[in-house]
Chains A and B, each alone.
Chain A
Amino acid sequence: DTAVSQTPKYLVTQMGNDKSIKCEQNLGHDTMYWYKQDSKKFLKIMFSYNNKELIINETVPNRFSPKSPDKAHLNLHINSLELGDSAVYFCASSQDNRGNQPQHFGDGTRLSIL
């Protein structure tokens, strides 16, 4: 069984559209994350939620809105998509937010803006 699963794997859409990426973990972890990998393969944190509460928001544009309906799910909604949003988005989870447990990553969602 996949521990951290993201859907969809690929997303191709037009500039200006609104889209969502879903993430679910079945590890029983309390903390979930969204990371962005740019075209140069650099990975950077976007958001972190602990038990459905936002704990990290790394100066991401307001067009990005994470939502955590329960601690097993962290979805990412993006409004008014721009060309610069093209990237691979990774979801991850860890047992807690103390920073001394490994993070487990999903397979990523490749977003392409036309």
Chain B
Amino acid sequence: GIQVEQSPPDLILQEGANSTLRCNFSDSVNNLQWFHQNPWGQLINLFYIPSGTKQNGRLSATTVATERYSLLYISSSQTTDSGVYFCAIISSGSARQLTFGSGTQLTVLP
């Protein structure tokens, strides 16, 4: 099946710093989503981005489908950005369920 690898697995930042999270995948995709799982366990949709670039406030994401990777940028990080960030994909040739990466645990220190 399709492989989804996220890096880094853990990231600790000081408030105000910028960061880049990466998602590599092994097949062409129909769907790529970035989620933030907050400390209360909720999965928050950040981006639906099978290709191209999107921005939402301090967050932006870019997917280069031909090179099979996606990047999530967090600028001017805040303590409320802490949590686990997941990349999830649906490959073009597979059954229609999301395959999740193992996540990046982000901790933003005050």
Point out residues on A near B: beta carbons under 8 Å: 31, 33, 35, 41-45, 48, 55-56, 58, 88, 90, 92, 97-105, 107-108, 110
Q: Contact at B41–A108, with CB atoms within 8 Å?
A: yes
Interface residue SS majority, chain B = strand
A108 CB to nearest chain B CB (Å): 5
Neighbouring A residues of B33 by C-beta, 8 Å? 102-103
Given contacts A99-B31, A100-B50, 5 further A-B contacts (CB under 8 A): A43-B100, A98-B96, A103-B31, A103-B33, A104-B45
With both beta carbons as reference points, the residue of chain A lying nearest to B40 in the complex is identified as A107
With both beta carbons as reference points, the residue of chain A lying nearest to B47 in the complex is identified as A102
Q: Contact at A99–B41, with CB atoms within 8 Å?
A: no
Q: Contact at A43–B97, with CB atoms within 8 Å?
A: no
